[in-house]
Amino acid sequence: MCDHHDKLRSNNKDLQQVEKLFDRREFLSKTSLGLGALAFGSLLNAEKAWGQVGRNTKPDLEMFSRNKLGLPHHVPKAKRAIYLFQSGGPSQIELFDYKPKLKDMFGQELPDSVRKGQRLTGMSADQTSLPIAPSIIDFKQYGESRAWVSNAMPYLSEVVDDICFIKSMQTDAINHDPAITFFQTGSQQPGRPSIGSWLSYGLGSDNENLPTFITLISKNGNGQPLYSRLWGNGFLPTEHQGVQFRSGKDPVLYLTNPENYDGHDRRNMLDYLGKLNDVQHSFYGDPEINARMSQYEMAFRMQTSIPEVTDMSDEPDYIFEMYGKDSRDPGTYAANCLLGRKLLEKGVKFIQLYHQGWDQHLACPGGVLGNSRKTDQANAALIKDLKQRGMFEDTLLIWGGEFGRTVYSQGKLTANNYGRDHHPKAFTMFMAGAGVKPGITYGETDDFSYNVIKDPVHTHDFQATLLHLFGIDHERLTFKHQGRRFRLTDVHGHVVKDILS
Amino acid sequence: MNDVPDFVMFLGRFHPLVVHLPIGFLFFAFILEITAKFQKKELLLAAVPSALFFGAVSAIAASILGYMLSLSGEYDGDTLDAHFWFGVATSLVATLAWLLKSGKLKLAVPNSFKMNVATLSFLVLLISITGHYGGNLTHGSNYLTEYLPFGTKKNKNLPEIANVEEARVFDYLVAPILDKKCTSCHNSGKKKGGLSLEDEVSILKGGKNGKVVIPGSSTESELTKRVHLNPEDDNFMPPEGKTPLTEAEIKIIEYWIDNGQASFEVTVAGVETSEDIETLLKVQLGLAEGEASKLTMEKAPPVSENILKDLESKGVKIREIVAETNQLDIAMLPVGKKPDAETIQDLLNELAKIKDNIVWLSLPGNDISNDHLKTISTFTNLQRLGLEKNNISDEGVKHLTALEHLKSLNLHSNKGITDSSLKTFSEMKSLKNIYTWGTSITRKGDELEKQSSI
């Protein structure tokens, strides 16, 4: 434009509009032309005539509103989901992907015909040898589905007939941060919304008193760090970010009233604050003001709903026994699974649970067994518990990490110890519950659990399938940001129809 | 699109009215010129400049209004562009014609009859083309030719078939795909690339680059080669802007060429058919309880927004199962203090007003008792019903037999339900899943499941 005081102006388009409100020229032209326009306007029904098609009005909680995005696109199978994220990259070779032929190849060099020159991480690329390390943990077949499960997961083996194993998962990233970010947001670069945020944005809340998207991190796992952008809203409105529940006295920080404050005038305070914010919003038009207001309101409602939902006293003893003795210790994986179930019952749509510690570069068998002990019983219990409550038909359960592990040993290979490096080209996940075929194994890897030889499922395919189960066509749930319409699956992803029931 | 003020839209809607004025005026100018010449009524010529003037002015007005209308974004690209530019051209040529004819603009152009008729014919041609594109925009491109008395009729009526094996591969499976995606450009009237895909003879004949179908080898057949190219490729079919073939459609055509040897007679039974293909075929023929039919939902009659608003204000969560179907998923989760029996009854009465629209209903932990179920049992479209953690007993369960479409019933933790309800469950024919954990039923879950799993 031809402004001569460019230096004083912002480069930001939105701010420029605000600046215009104070502009001298704007003032003069408004007062001169404006009078005429006013006179003309009052002749017509001005409000209506110059109003805009589809103008945004402030969402009114009291009003019945249909889904503005036209969702769901088709009949949903899942109404809610719990994603048990096994952070670090659990070894498929020690857990689910049974490779008996490896036994005879102990210590042999991984053939180049298998690796095909794949780039390795800096942690094992310098190794002079890549010796094959068969699993020292034994496998058995279970259930009517005859699924292979290792001895590390004795509880899970009881429920294999409810589970759909996907042994042909693939991802693009080989390191933790980009790989987890990729799984959670569909992009290795930070900044995109998390799966839960997309669902919250697309489908809305089922219980106004609780967040739609909740994150739980188990305290009895440690390893690669997790960071709040994994459950962040990216460019979606802020109210869709995941709310992290912590272990201990205050599951949600800053929710209890400060000492010596009874909270009686909180409602009044919020009402007046709301009015002030309304004024700000009508002036600046910043959607974040609305987001902030809805978060205040949510926090206010959570002051009563959170103590109620996190109160474990109404759970009978046999439920605790089912989840294991850890489940009485808030913040452990088992306790989080149990809390997760309670939250699902209360209408929370998406629970993102994390367990760190699956990064077995060294001492792989011991590490796998240790983490399995912390998680196995609770995984199985959660499935059984959801089943008996009739929630399994519309609740989706997902178990998986950000990648798998290599067949070759990282570091020294001995008869009963070895390590495994990151492996993105083939690993195992499982899904169960709403709309997923029970008791099947999908996809196959080669004899080395290194390459997928049948039915590969890429991270984007998994995300597309997840959205599909929620009644969403992954190509049609978009958000326009910086001039581009973004999707969870970016420009990729195919729904894995074969695992749908 | 959101930035279009209502007022502009309001004016834009006058476009279809105003467009008829330039058509009339400009045609009239043409007729005046012709009749003046052939019927020797020279006087009429005096009216031509006026007719052109009004034609030009109304054409410009129509163009502007048309542009306003186009801002709504309701019209599609290519046809709209053509309509727009022909409209602009008509306005410009009409203005020019008026300027020349009225003597406002003096060019070294002879004011001869031939010259005038040429200009006016050109105008008539322009306005006809503009009008044709306009008509296509409003009514669709086949509006004009749909009931053409000559030419081939598209609807070959195939007899209905009951199972996949009977279907003739070409007629039932391949031809519909070609009709949908190819024959708009490759037909006997419009042979792009010299190729028609309308019937057996022309398909066998191929196009100007030779045969398009080589029996037994889809990899060598031009027909399938072209659809596999990179969409950026100039030779990719269907060309840019047209809907590409879906993966299923490609697979079916390949199946016909490879397994069916591109025969026009063979039926599915006579061709080696893998399971995957068979499901595809079933879906294509609408015989399968295919993916598609599982995912869609019929529309229910609309419901009063006021009732919905009212229910939401009472803490009931209402969602459409699929957007814009009016098929509702209704839930009331217990919050804080449980409502008393009367409140629940009032609420159910309220729900009864929209009962035909309720397909999924979830009322856990709301102290629902047997009497309430009388009302719920009138919600006959229910498919899923969640009544866990309530005070229901065997007496109440009996009411639920009226729910003929009920597929899933959750009664867990209703202590009053005993083994005698098992008989009631067995009477509910459509029931697939029933949850009775925490009731007084002694039989094991899997036995129950088997009983009601059919």
Q: What SS3 state is found at B52?
A: helix
Residue A62: per-residue pLDDT:
42
- Taking only the tens place, the pLDDT of each residue in B52-72 is 999 999 999 999 999 988 887
Residues B319 and B425 occupy one common structural domain:
yes
Q: Is the Cβ pair A67, B323 closer than 8 Å?
A: yes
A7 in contact with B at a CB cutoff of 8 Å?
no
Distance separating alpha carbons of residues A348 and B331, to the nearest angstrom: 13
Min distance A220 CA to chain B CA atoms (Å): 32
Q: What SS3 state is found at A107?
A: coil
Q: Domain holding B79: CATH number?
A: 1.20.120
pLDDT band at B251 (very low <50, low <70, confident <90, very high): confident
Residues B285 and B351 occupy one common structural domain:
no
The stretch A34-46 carries a mean pLDDT of: 55
Q: Is the pLDDT at B138 greater than 80, yes or no?
A: no
The stretch B173-182 carries a mean pLDDT of: 85
Minimum Cα–Cα distance from A498: chain B residue: B276
Q: At what angle do helices A266-284 and A287-309 cross, to 10 degrees?
A: 150
**What stretches of B182-290 show up as alpha helix (H) in DSSP?**
200-205, 222-228, 247-258, 275-285
Instruction: Using CA atoms of B248, B252, B254, B257 in order, give the dihedral in degrees to the nearest 10.
Output: -170
Nearest-by-Cβ selection for B2 from A54, A72, A207: A54
Stated as kind and residue range, the H or E segment containing B88 is helix B77-101
Q: What's the token pair of residue A478? A: 């978009």
Residues B94 and B191 occupy one common structural domain:
no
Say yes or no: ipTM exceeds 0.85: no
Q: Cβ atoms within 10 A of the Cβ of A258, count?
A: 7
A54 in contact with B at a CB cutoff of 8 Å?
yes
A59 in contact with B at a CB cutoff of 8 Å?
no
Residue A190: per-residue pLDDT:
94
Residues B225 and B364 occupy one common structural domain:
no
Of all residues in chain A, the percent with pLDDT exceeding 70 is 89
Beta-ladder partners of A436: A500
Does any domain span residue B274?
Answer: yes
Q: Cβ atoms within 10 A of the Cβ of A465, count?
A: 25
Q: How would you label A396-435 residue by residue, b for 16+ Cβ within 10 Å and e otherwise?
A: bbbbbbbbbbbbbbbbebeeebbbbbbbbbbbbbbbbbbb
Please, what is the Cα angle at A290 between A287 and A292, to 5 degrees?
Answer: 110
Within 8 A of A301 by CB-CB distance, chain B residues are: none
**Dihedrals phi, psi of B162, to nearest 5 degrees:** -95, -35
Last residue of a domain, one of B247, B272, B293: B293
Residue A59: per-residue pLDDT:
43
- C-alpha separations of B103 from B44, B117, B279 in Å: 17, 17, 74
The stretch B36-52 carries a mean pLDDT of: 85
Residues B277 and B309 occupy one common structural domain:
no
**What stretches of A227-286 show up as alpha helix (H) in DSSP?**
266-284
- Mean pLDDT score of chain A, rounded to an integer? 89
Q: At what angle do helices B48-70 and B20-38 cross, to 10 degrees?
A: 160
Beta-ladder partners of A150: A139
- Taking only the tens place, the pLDDT of each residue in A70-92 is 889 999 999 999 999 999 999 99
Chain B interface, best mutation among A53, A344, A392, by max B CB count within 10 A: A53
- C-alpha separations of A226 from A192, A335, A381 in Å: 16, 19, 25
Residues B33 and B83 occupy one common structural domain:
yes
Min distance A130 CA to chain B CA atoms (Å): 39
Does any domain span residue B299?
Answer: no
Q: Name, in order, each residue with C-beta under 8 angstroms of A172's C-beta and a sequence gap of 6 or more.
A: A182, A188, A424, A459
Q: What SS3 state is found at A164?
A: strand
Q: Lowest mean pLDDT of B97-111, B229-243, B336-350, B440-454, name the range.
A: B440-454
Compute the half-sphere exposure of residue A130: CA atoms within 13 Å on the CB side of its CA: 20
The stretch A317-342 carries a mean pLDDT of: 94
Residue B201: per-residue pLDDT:
84
Residue A42: per-residue pLDDT:
54
Q: What's the token pair of residue B257? A: 């060429």
pLDDT band at B453 (very low <50, low <70, confident <90, very high): very low
Q: Is the Cβ pair A304, B336 closer than 8 Å?
A: yes
Does any domain span residue B149?
Answer: no
Please, what is the Cα angle at B141 between B135 and B144, to 5 degrees?
Answer: 70
Residues B75 and B189 occupy one common structural domain:
no
The stretch B278-302 carries a mean pLDDT of: 72
Does any domain span residue B225?
Answer: yes
Within 8 A of B313 by CB-CB distance, chain A residues are: 62
Q: Lowest mean pLDDT of A209-223, A391-405, B142-156, B430-444, name the range.
A: B142-156
Residue A291: per-residue pLDDT:
87
Distance separating alpha carbons of residues A468 and A75, to the nearest angstrom: 9
Q: Is the pLDDT at A239 greater than 70, yes or no?
A: yes
Min distance A135 CA to chain B CA atoms (Å): 35
Higher pLDDT, B195 or A55: B195
Residue A45: per-residue pLDDT:
47
Residue B266: per-residue pLDDT:
85
Q: Is the Cβ pair B433, A53 closer than 8 Å?
A: no
Does any domain span residue B359?
Answer: yes
The stretch A41-68 carries a mean pLDDT of: 49
Q: Is the Cβ pair A390, B3 closer than 8 Å?
A: no
Chain A interface, best mutation among B70, B333, B408, B410, by max A CB count within 10 A: B333
Minimum Cα–Cα distance from B291: chain A residue: A497
Nearest-by-Cβ selection for A74 from B5, B10, B322: B322
- Taking only the tens place, the pLDDT of each residue in A385-417 is 999 999 999 999 999 999 999 999 999 999 999
Number of domains forming the structure of chain B:
3
Distance separating alpha carbons of residues B270 and B406, to the nearest angstrom: 41
Within 8 A of A390 by CB-CB distance, chain B residues are: 386, 388, 408, 410, 412, 433, 435, 437
* Overall CATH class of domain A80-251+310-499: alpha beta
Q: Name, in order, each residue with C-beta under 8 angstroms of A304's C-beta and a sequence gap of 6 or more.
A: A209, B336
Residue A111: per-residue pLDDT:
94
Residues B235 and B316 occupy one common structural domain:
no
pLDDT band at A170 (very low <50, low <70, confident <90, very high): very high
Within 8 A of B385 by CB-CB distance, chain A residues are: none
Residue B76: per-residue pLDDT:
60
A118 in contact with B at a CB cutoff of 8 Å?
no
Burial status of residue A352 (CB atoms within 10 A of its CB: 0-12, 13-18, 19 or more): buried
Q: What's the longest Cα–Cα distance across chain A?
A: 93
Residues B360 and B422 occupy one common structural domain:
yes
A43 in contact with B at a CB cutoff of 8 Å?
no
The stretch A106-122 carries a mean pLDDT of: 92
Fill in the amino acid letter for A26.
E
Number of CB pairs < 8 Å for A and B? 104
- Taking only the tens place, the pLDDT of each residue in B304-360 is 888 898 898 888 999 999 988 889 999 998 776 778 888 899 999 999 999 999 999
Q: Domain holding B380: CATH number?
A: 3.80.10.10
Of all residues in chain B, the percent with pLDDT exceeding 90 is 29
Within 8 A of A55 by CB-CB distance, chain B residues are: 2
**Which residues of chain A are in CATH 3.40.720 domains?**
80-251+310-499
Q: Cβ atoms within 10 A of the Cβ of B294, count?
A: 15
Q: Is the pLDDT at A315 greater than 90, yes or no?
A: yes
Distance separating alpha carbons of residues B253 and B256, to the nearest angstrom: 5
Q: How would you label B414-433 residue by residue, b for 16+ Cβ within 10 Å and e otherwise?
A: bebbeeebbebbeebeebeb
Q: What SS3 state is found at A366?
A: helix
Q: Lowest mean pLDDT of A264-268, A429-433, A490-494, B278-282, name the range.
A: B278-282
Residues B289 and B337 occupy one common structural domain:
no
Distance separating alpha carbons of residues A459 and A403, to the nearest angstrom: 10
Higher pLDDT, B40 or A192: A192
Q: What SS3 state is found at A355?
A: strand
Distance separating alpha carbons of residues A104 and A106, to the nearest angstrom: 6
Length of chain A: 501
Nearest-by-Cβ selection for B435 from A76, A305, A389: A389
Does any domain span residue B180?
Answer: yes
Q: Lowest mean pLDDT of A203-217, B149-163, B287-301, name the range.
A: B149-163
Q: Lowest mean pLDDT of A182-186, A188-192, B278-282, B330-334, name the range.
A: B278-282
Residues B245 and B314 occupy one common structural domain:
no
| Domain with B322 in it | 305-452
Higher pLDDT, B122 or A38: B122
Minimum Cα–Cα distance from A387: chain B residue: B435
Q: Is the pLDDT at A428 greater than 90, yes or no?
A: yes
Which residue, among A393, A375, A461, A439, has the nearest Cα to A168 in the 3D structure?
A: A461
pLDDT band at B41 (very low <50, low <70, confident <90, very high): confident
Please name the residue that has the structure tokens 């008026």. Answer: B98
Q: Lowest mean pLDDT of A353-362, A462-471, B30-39, name the range.
A: B30-39
Higher pLDDT, B208 or B95: B95
Q: Is the Cβ pair B305, A64 closer than 8 Å?
A: yes
Stated as kind and residue range, the H or E segment containing B435 is strand B433-435
Fill in the amino acid letter for B303.
V
pLDDT band at B396 (very low <50, low <70, confident <90, very high): very high
DSSP B369: B
Residue A31: per-residue pLDDT:
65
Which residue, among B433, B421, B448, has the nearest Cα to B385 in the 3D structure?
A: B433
Residues B311 and B276 occupy one common structural domain:
no
Q: Are B212 and B201 in contact (CB under 8 A)?
A: no
- Taking only the tens place, the pLDDT of each residue in A142-152 is 999 999 999 99
Q: What SS3 state is found at A6?
A: helix
pTM (2 decimals)?
0.69
Residue A21: per-residue pLDDT:
66
Q: At CB < 8 A and 24+ separation, what contacts does A103-107 make?
A: A103/A134, A105/A132, A105/A134, A106/A132, A106/A133, A106/A134, A106/A413, A107/A131, A107/A132, A107/A413
Higher pLDDT, B327 or B161: B327
Q: Cβ atoms within 10 A of the Cβ of A302, count?
A: 20
